[in-house]
Structure 1
Amino acid sequence: MSNDVKDSEVPFVKVEGLAKQYRSDLPPVFENVSFSIHKGEFICIIGHSGCGKSTILNALAGLEQASRGGIVMDGKEVDGPSLDRGVVFQGHALLPWLSVEENIAFAVRSRHPGWSRNQVAEHGARFLKMVGLAGAEKKKPAELSGGMKQRVGIARAFAVEPKMLLMDEPFGALDALTRGVIQDELLRICADTRQTVFMITHDVDEAILLADKILLMSNGPRAHIAEIVINTLPRERQRETMHHDPQFYRLRNHLVDFLVHRSKKLQETRDLKAAYGEPRVVRPGLDSLKVVASRDDEPPTNTPRRAAAGPA
């Protein structure tokens, strides 16, 4: 997907100099957060609790105002909530007195207020089928498992056909098997719809499976995006087989090392160049390129884009 995006293309989303400070006598939670998202990209952001990931997502959604900086999506400044940005929270946030199909219909009517009841029902049914919930339309949320509730939340977000989908650790409370099934569904849906996604996760393997780029945040306060990690694994990756590609372990080790060691060191040393310059772009998955401290999104000349797959 995004591996084919050229730097010359205008970003679909541009975040510049974003900061959030709740009280004047306390340092900002994060500052100088800058990154871009191209249309159709799947972005994951990883960092320790307290670095402001959810606040950044809420700012992208227009649900929270940043203290400084700005966000532009599709050429327009983000200054409040919009149906162009769908949100899937950690909790399913379903209306308990409505059935599955009624929860979906409630969202669809907000996008298409002039549609007939049949149009709304047909549209909603298509997305319920897409997430594997055909046949559960009449059930209330209390009759659903946790994984099914999250699927309804995902279907509801997709049903309003947003330009960007924002997901705040949507699978964090699910068991490993259910989580894997929904991850597969999400990959399939995004491949079919070319959906642009920004997602918070604490799961390194999940980020490698889903994301085109992984944003690594330093620890708060005064957190910033320290690195943008390019996922050089082939886009058509699968949970069952991606660990056979030798790039997988290079990517995974790089992410884990950042979370365990380097994020803490960044907080202690307060490297001003890292904190106030552009985040460096790294490709730890490539054979010949361990870390590239580059402002450019293209690998150096004569560097292969992707290492040849082989036995792990």
Structure 2
Amino acid sequence: MSTSHIRIEGLRKTFPAPRGGVAVTVFDQVWFGIEKGEFVCLIGHSGCGKTTLLNILAGLDESSGGGIVVNGKEITGPSLDRAVIFQHHALLPWLTVMGNVAFAVRSRHSGWDNAKVRAHCQKYIDLVHLTGSEMKKPSQLSGGMKQRVGIARALAIEPDILLMDEPFSALDALTRGSLQDELVSICAATQQTSFMITHDIDEAILLADKIVLMSNGPEARVCEIVENTLPKGRTRKDMHRHPHYYPMRNHLLEFLVNRANSFKTELSDPGYDPMHPPVTRPGVGQPAARPIDAPGDPLPEAKTAGR
């Protein structure tokens, strides 16, 4: 991890006690790395500090201990090298699609003339398939279109790191799936270093190169790091047919249902080192799964996963 593009090192966040109360340490001794061009998802239950950790990485909040190092420099505040896509679009309602994207671009390139800014914005508006909607204001857009503007705005400043806090959670299933596909294509084309918080197991399997599992708070820690054993180029339509899909999905489901809450008992294991969380590769070395469209009863894994 010492050579990783992003290094989260011994991170701790404690919220001060209210009058007469007790201070709460949401997470402690959080260690993991993110490589250049890697897509990392973080999964954990509410209250483990996922959004707080992302805000610290974005420079919008401060840690109570430890630190985050990017490209060899410790984060001390916000930077245009780190763009954030929030759960809600956070668009400026009085600006058009073009105006919202241009607002971000001008903050990055203050010396550009209007024609250059417009051409640069158009490239990213086209990238998220909003061509023809440049002059529309947020009130004229659907929820999915607003999130597309947020993605275009974030990408248009050409950040070194893209941070996403459950950006598709408020959308309907069809829109969410469409935007996931767009994000897969964009990240594959740009080799964008990305960090996303999600509660959606299938979203993590589709998008992530590796998945960081956080135990429940308070004093949450990294339970383990799961390497995605499904091949690159997977899609929502076919990933469930890969023999590693159900081992991967069931491993993540088992974590959320059971291990996230009971993980503190594993801390006493002499093999657990918070600086080097266990790395797992579900499906590797296991018997190949039967294709789900084969005749016969459903797979036991499918029943377990509620599919």
TM norm structure 1: 0.88
State the match for 1:127 in structure 2. 124
Q: 1:167 aligns with which of 145, 164, 167?
A: 164
Q: How many residues align?
A: 286
State the match for 1:293 in structure 2. none
User: Secondary structure of 1:278's match?
Assistant: coil
CA contact (8 A) 2:98 2:121 kept: yes
For 1:285 and 1:211, the matched residues in 2 are separated by 16
Q: 2:238 aligns with which of 241, 256, 264?
A: 241
> How far is 1:272 from its partner?
4.0
Residues 1:311 and 2:307 aligned together? no
Output the amino acid matched with 1:23. P
Residues 60-71 of structure 1 aligned to structure 2 (within 5 Å): 60-71=57-68
Stretches of structure 1 that go unaligned for 5 or more consecutive residues are 1-6, 289-306
State the match for 1:53 in structure 2. 50
> How far is 1:185 from its partner?
0.4
CA contact (8 A) 1:227 1:282 kept: yes
Change in Cα spacing, 1:227 to 1:309, as seen in structure 2 (3 Å) is same
> How far is 1:239 from its partner?
0.3
Output the amino acid matched with 2:280. V
State the match for 1:22 in structure 2. 15
CA contact (8 A) 1:226 1:275 kept: no
> How far is 1:285 from its partner?
2.4
For 2:75 and 2:268, the matched residues in 1 are separated by 28
State the match for 1:198 in structure 2. 195
Task: Report the identity percentage.
Answer: 59
User: Secondary structure of 1:239's match?
Assistant: coil
CA contact (8 A) 1:217 1:223 kept: yes
Residues 1:283 and 2:252 aligned together? no
State the match for 2:304 in structure 1. none
User: Secondary structure of 1:82's match?
Assistant: coil
CA contact (8 A) 1:12 1:74 kept: yes
For 1:230 and 1:97, the matched residues in 2 are separated by 43
Output the amino acid matched with 2:142. S
User: Secondary structure of 2:24's match?
Assistant: coil
Q: Which runs of 4+ in 1 moved over 6 A?
A: 307-310
Output the amino acid matched with 1:67. S
CA contact (8 A) 2:10 2:275 kept: no
State the match for 2:267 in structure 1. 271
Change in Cα spacing, 1:79 to 1:244, as seen in structure 2 (3 Å) is same
Residues 1:211 and 2:208 aligned together? yes
For 2:285 and 2:53, the matched residues in 1 are separated by 33
CA contact (8 A) 2:223 2:277 kept: yes
For 2:223 and 2:128, the matched residues in 1 are separated by 35
Q: What is the CA RMSD across the aligned residues, in angstroms?
A: 1.6
TM norm structure 2: 0.90
For 1:194 and 1:157, the matched residues in 2 are separated by 15
1:169-212 Cα distance to aligned partner (Å, 9 max, x none): 00000000000000000010001110000000000000000000
For 1:310 and 1:191, the matched residues in 2 are separated by 29
Output the amino acid matched with 1:20. K
Residues 1:10 and 2:7 aligned together? no
1:255-283 Cα distance to aligned partner (Å, 9 max, x none): 0000001111114x362454745211011
State the match for 1:80 in structure 2. 77
Q: 2:135 aligns with which of 132, 135, 138?
A: 138
Stretches of structure 2 that go unaligned for 5 or more consecutive residues are 293-307
